[in-house]
A and B are shown apart, each in its own frame.
Chain A
Amino acid sequence: MSSEFDISRNITIGQYVPTGSFIHRLDPRIKLLIFVFLVVAIALNTSYIGNAVGLILSLYLFWASKIPISYGLSGVKPAIPFIIILAVLQLLFQGQLFSGGKVFVDYGFILITSESIRLVIVSAVRFIEIIFLSSVLTLSTSTTELTHSIQSLLSPLKKMNFPVHEISLITTISIRFVPTFAIEMEKMMKAQASRGADFGSGSWWRIIQRTKEMFPIIIPLFNIALARAEDLILAMEARCYTPGGERSTYSVYKAVTKDYLILLVGLLLTLLLLFYPFPI
């Protein structure tokens, strides 16, 4: 309501909402592991009840981590067009592949059955569940924690000469700069609006005009990004950063009984979603 330039507010990636809940205090490696398990389980579960369980679980996690659900919803909002397009395409064109169950419409190549409707509904709900889960993960875990845990979980791959440290460094930097660039973009939009630019005034189908309107933001933003990258290089070199060097971390994670218990609960939920024969 306050202005047309609220971009940073709507970007939840790389944002951390410190509420100090028990989910925040969990060992980040355990959190990441459970997240991966649950995402796999949700992606493979095709039953209505199973996905309802997943949805309730992800809503419960918001409640448990004391993060306002509005954060999760603002993550879903930009995905709505994709969900709708996906649903329409699946409904129209995937009937032949999932042709079990009752046939509702059979007209030319369009075949709509109870199985293809299930596919449409389940994929939409699945999408929302996964957005909720990843929102809880990123909102309750700082980026440093996240990358440290990626690094520590991937460390066995070092033996295969996989550049674990480099990969985690690249991820940290890119996640870290998402909100920064959102702020820069907001500033740039304000600055250009002050000299007469207007954004989003053209109709949405006039793609070329709307793209041209973005030049005054995108070009300076590129410059700023490159300048920042150079600064970062200097700052790292000034602190004697050497690629591939042996390094220790400031925070060392130690999982305690509570963390293992949570891991067990997560595993059980995953197995339930994967193998329990839900009636519908």
Chain B
Amino acid sequence: MTVKPIIEIENLTHTYMKGTPMEHVALKGTNLYVEAGECIAIIGHTGSGKSTLIQHLNGLIRPESGRVVIDGEDLAKKKIDLKTLRRKVGIVFQNPEDQIFEKIIGDDIAYGPFKMGLPLKEVRERVKWAMSVVGLDFEEMKDRQTFALSGGQKRKVALAGILALKPKILVLDEPTAGLDPRSRNELLDKIKRLNKEEKLTVIFVSHNMEEVAMLADRVYVMADGKDVLSGTPKEIFTDKEKLVRHQIGTPETVQVLYRLTDLGYQVRTDAFSITEAADEIMKLFAGRKEGTEHVQRI
């Protein structure tokens, strides 16, 4: 493809607390290429450098060495327009509900647009749009008190606060951590729709492989400050040897399918969506008369 990627990161390094006894190398030459409109998942164990990497995307951390180009702008340059960059790349941090500080939902979502210096009418429009995208009713919710919200609702408000900036690229650090299953599914659905319908480029960090399998077009695997593996979820989750080498978890469906093949059943291990996996398992029943007996063994 000849399309120029919207995010180009090459050989990026970063060291925390440089020049002190607490020096810690977080990134040791990471690469990341994202094309406009893609949905990318970054996975990896704690301390593998995921959070450090995503903080480079809107210039919170400046590249120490290596190349970071976001939408044509090289962040290694001394003078860059950070404000414009941060509007273009919206980062939703872990537990974003902590960052809510206004008393009323509408005001909190409007903080970013107001800071951009937009006229009141435009701000109102953006707040309305952002609230509708995350599934909060504008008329009903805009004057509600923020502290009385549930965890899931607070997270929606925080997400709306970023979306009101109308970013081109949305970056989420463990967006569903700590949410109940229902809020989790709702949020994932919203992210998916933002990517598919609003054409936002989405990058998210996750430990939940079901999410990764469901949402991501491509997956980057980080380990020890480097990107060790990348590819479509299908490519990643079917490469058993590498999964074991990098200690990558898989969705439960894949685990079940792998166990079935280990026991000598003929199933496709790349069928990791729940319906596909169910079909694969059902095929086993159709193929045998005494199927139930075998299944019990598992």
| Residues of A bordering B, CB below 8 Å | 1-3, 5, 9, 17, 19, 67-68, 70-71, 187-188, 190-198, 215-216, 219-220, 223-224
Q: Mark B1-18, 1 if CB is under 8 A from A, else 0.
A: 000000000000011011
Q: Is the CB–CB distance between A194 and B86 below 8 Å?
A: yes
Q: Check: B60 CB closer than 8 A to any chain A CB.
A: yes
Q: Is the CB–CB distance between A224 and B18 below 8 Å?
A: no
Q: Check: B115 CB closer than 8 A to any chain A CB.
A: yes
- Interface set, chain B 111-125, CB cutoff 8 A to A: 111-113, 115-116
Q: How many A-B residue pairs have CB under 8 A?
A: 77
Q: Is the CB–CB distance between B98 and A19 below 8 Å?
A: no
Q: Mark B49-92, 1 if CB is under 8 A from A, else 0.
A: 00000010010111010000000000000000001001100111
In the complex, what's the smallest C-beta–C-beta distance from B122 to chain A, in angstroms? 14
Contact of B21 among A19, A196, A198 (CB under 8 A): A19
Residues of B within 8 A of A1 (CB): 18
In the complex, what's the smallest C-beta–C-beta distance from A23 to chain B, in angstroms? 15
| Residues of B bordering A, CB below 8 Å | 14-15, 17-22, 55, 58, 60-62, 64, 83, 86-87, 90-93, 96, 98-101, 111-113, 115-116, 161-162, 165
**Counting chain A CB atoms within 10 Å of each CB, which of B20, B62, B83, B113 scores highest?**
B20
Q: Is the CB–CB distance between A191 and B17 below 8 Å?
A: no
Additional 10 contacts, C-beta under 8 A, given A67-B21, A196-B86, A216-B99:
A1-B18, A2-B62, A9-B17, A19-B21, A194-B92, A195-B99, A195-B112, A195-B161, A196-B87, A196-B165
Contact of B111 among A17, A19, A193, A216 (CB under 8 A): A216
Residues of A within 8 A of B165 (CB): 195-196
Residues of A within 8 A of B83 (CB): 196, 198
Residues of A within 8 A of B100 (CB): 220
In the complex the two chains form, what is the Cα distance from A36 to B69 in whole Å? 54
Q: Is the CB–CB distance between A193 and B99 below 8 Å?
A: no
In the complex the two chains form, what is the Cα distance from A19 to B21 in whole Å? 9
In the complex the two chains form, what is the Cα distance from A224 to B112 in whole Å? 22
Q: Is the CB–CB distance between A5 and B21 below 8 Å?
A: no
In the complex the two chains form, what is the Cα distance from A68 to B91 in whole Å? 36
Q: Is the CB–CB distance between A2 and B61 below 8 Å?
A: yes
In the complex, what's the smallest C-beta–C-beta distance from B6 to chain A, in angstroms? 18
In the complex the two chains form, what is the Cα distance from A215 to B165 in whole Å? 20
Q: Is the CB–CB distance between A196 and B111 below 8 Å?
A: yes
Chain A minimum-CB-distance residue to B21: A17
Q: Is the CB–CB distance between A190 and B20 below 8 Å?
A: no
**A3-B60, A196-B83, A196-B112 in contact; A188/B14 too (CB < 8 A)?**
no
Q: Is the CB–CB distance between B60 and A194 below 8 Å?
A: yes
Q: Is the CB–CB distance between A193 and B101 below 8 Å?
A: no
Q: Is the CB–CB distance between B115 and A197 below 8 Å?
A: yes
**Counting chain A CB atoms within 10 Å of each CB, which of B14, B15, B115, B165 scores highest?**
B115
Q: Is the CB–CB distance between A220 and B101 below 8 Å?
A: yes
Residues of A within 8 A of B98 (CB): 188, 191, 220, 223-224
In the complex, what's the smallest C-beta–C-beta distance from A176 to chain B, in angstroms? 17
Residues of B within 8 A of A224 (CB): 98
**A220-B98, A220-B101, A223-B98 in contact; A195/B61 too (CB < 8 A)?**
no
In the complex the two chains form, what is the Cα distance from A193 to B92 in whole Å? 11
In the complex the two chains form, what is the Cα distance from A193 to B90 in whole Å? 10
In the complex, what's the smallest C-beta–C-beta distance from B85 to chain A, in angstroms? 10
In the complex the two chains form, what is the Cα distance from A215 to B115 in whole Å? 14
Q: Is the CB–CB distance between A195 and B64 below 8 Å?
A: no
In the complex, what's the smallest C-beta–C-beta distance from B116 to chain A, in angstroms? 6
In the complex, what's the smallest C-beta–C-beta distance from B63 to chain A, in angstroms? 9
Residues of A within 8 A of B116 (CB): 196
In the complex, what's the smallest C-beta–C-beta distance from B172 to chain A, in angstroms? 11
Q: Mind listing 10 A-B residue pairs with CB under 8 Å?
A: A2-B61, A5-B60, A9-B20, A68-B20, A190-B93, A192-B99, A195-B86, A195-B112, A196-B113, A197-B111
In the complex the two chains form, what is the Cα distance from A71 to B20 in whole Å? 8
In the complex, what's the smallest C-beta–C-beta distance from B23 to chain A, in angstroms? 11
Residues of B within 8 A of A197 (CB): 111, 115
Residues of B within 8 A of A70 (CB): 19-20
In the complex the two chains form, what is the Cα distance from A68 to B62 in whole Å? 26
Residues of B within 8 A of A215 (CB): 101
Residues of A within 8 A of B14 (CB): 2
Q: Is the CB–CB distance between B61 and A3 below 8 Å?
A: yes
Chain A minimum-CB-distance residue to B94: A187
Contact of B93 among A67, A191, A196 (CB under 8 A): A191
Residues of A within 8 A of B61 (CB): 2-3
Contact of B90 among A67, A68, A194 (CB under 8 A): A194
Chain A minimum-CB-distance residue to B63: A2
**Counting chain A CB atoms within 10 Å of each CB, which of B60, B61, B116 scores highest?**
B60
Q: Is the CB–CB distance between B93 and A216 below 8 Å?
A: no
Q: Is the CB–CB distance between A190 and B60 below 8 Å?
A: yes
